Amino acid sequence: EAAVTQSPRNKVTVTGGNVTLSCRQTNSHNYMYWYRQDTGHGLRLIHYSYGAGNLQIGDVPDGYKATRTTQEDFFLLLELASPSQTSLYFCASSHWDTQYFGPGTRLLVL
Amino acid sequence: GQQVQQSPASLVLQEGENAELQCNFSTSLNSMQWFYQRPGGSLVSLFYNPSGTKHSGRLTSTTVIKERRSSLHISSSQTTDSGTYLCALERLQQGTGSKLSFGKGAKLTVSP
């Protein structure tokens, strides 16, 4: 089964802070995704990528940047964190069909 | 608007009862996927189902494109089935690849 890891698992920052969430997959999947999960909204797609150097805009991209540095690594950047970005963040990867999810990162913005 | 409507939002069963979860979608799709989210938060893929019926143990997924619906049936529920079940509509877009749109989830509680 695909292995997707995320770090950190928990993060607390203050409003205006700078946060980077990391994701690594070790199965050479083409696609990688960043989602956020909030009560009442389900999972929503922030950004995704189909290869190193590629970035596609998701459904809720405002306030987020992302970068795919290698086939394995996908980063989500919050440069001026706001309390509205408090959420559970998931990374996922896939080749063609099934998406495999990481364990999630809980972010609290005070 | 919401492309995927999931129902019910929550369900409480006694162990041994069956569960039927539904997703209705309002747009074209490449496939419907079903996921299980553990109480601790991690997601596990259950089915990738573009159309028809698929089985996995006590779980059955049925996607009917013409009727714009997909269902997940859990037979003989167990307490370990408790958690949240999510459906997701997969769209393939030329040039930008595969995207999932999730329903809001169905929280299942199975009591002993």
Look over chain A and give the mean of its residue pLDDT values, rounded to a whole number. Answer: 93
Residues A15-40, mean pLDDT to the nearest whole number: 94
Q: How far is A110 from chain B (nearest CA, A)?
A: 22
Instruction: State residue A48 phi and psi, 5-degree precision.
Output: -150, 170
Domain count, chain B: 1
Element (H, E) at A90: strand A87-94
pLDDT tens track for B8-43: 999 999 999 999 999 999 887 778 999 999 887 889
Residue A92: give the domain boundaries: 4-105
Cα–Cα distance measured from residue B6 to residue A105, given in angstroms and rounded to the nearest whole number? 25
Question: Does residue A70 belong to any structural domain of this protein?
Answer: yes
Question: Does residue A93 belong to any structural domain of this protein?
Answer: yes
Q: Which residues of A touch B44 (CB under 8 A)?
A: 101
Share of chain A above pLDDT 90, in %: 83
What is the pLDDT at residue A2? 54
Neighbour-count burial for A40-62, b at 16+ CB within 10 Å, e otherwise: eebbbbbbbbbeeeebbebebee
Question: Does residue A41 belong to any structural domain of this protein?
Answer: yes
Question: Residue A79 has which token pair?
Answer: 């440069």
pLDDT tens track for A47-100: 999 999 999 999 999 999 999 999 999 999 999 999 999 999 999 998 877 889
- Whether the pLDDT of residue A25 is over 60: the answer is yes
Assign B1 a pLDDT band (cuts: 50, 70, 90).
low
Question: Does residue A77 belong to any structural domain of this protein?
Answer: yes
- The beta strand positions in chain B, using DSSP E, are 4-7, 10-14, 19-25, 31-37, 43-49, 52-56, 59-64, 69-74, 83-93, 97-102, 106-111
Closest CB to A41: pick one of B41, B96, B104.
Answer: B104
Question: Does residue A28 belong to any structural domain of this protein?
Answer: yes
Cα–Cα distance measured from residue A34 to residue A89, given in angstroms and rounded to the nearest whole number? 7
Look over chain B and give the mean of its residue pLDDT values, rounded to a whole number. Answer: 91
Q: How far is B93 from chain A (nearest CA, A)?
A: 11
Closest CB to A45: pick one of B33, B43, B99.
Answer: B99
The count of other CB atoms within 10 Å of the CB of residue B90 is 20
Question: Does residue A54 belong to any structural domain of this protein?
Answer: yes
Residue A33 to residue B100, Cβ atoms within 8 A: yes
Share of chain A above pLDDT 70, in %: 98
Indicate which CATH number applies to the domain containing A94. 2.60.40.10
Q: Which residues of A touch B98 (CB under 8 A)?
A: 31, 94, 96
Domain count, chain A: 1
Element (H, E) at A19: strand A19-25
Residues B76-97, mean pLDDT to the nearest whole number: 89
Question: Does residue A30 belong to any structural domain of this protein?
Answer: yes
Indicate which CATH number applies to the domain containing B45. 2.60.40.10
Residue B105: give the domain boundaries: 4-111
Question: Does residue A36 belong to any structural domain of this protein?
Answer: yes
What is the pLDDT at residue B61? 97
Q: How far is B23 from chain A (nearest CA, A)?
A: 13
Residue B33 to residue A99, Cβ atoms within 8 A: yes
In degrees, rounded to 5, the angle at the alpha carbon of residue B33 between the alpha carbons of residues B27 and B36 is: 130
Interface of B with A (CB under 8 A): 31, 33, 35, 41-45, 48, 86, 88, 90, 96-105
Give A16's DSSP letter.
Answer: T
Residues B52-65, mean pLDDT to the nearest whole number: 96
- Whether the pLDDT of residue B96 is over 90: the answer is no
User: Could you tell me which of A67, A3, A30, A1 has the C-alpha nearest to residue B98?
Assistant: A30
The count of other CB atoms within 10 Å of the CB of residue B52 is 10
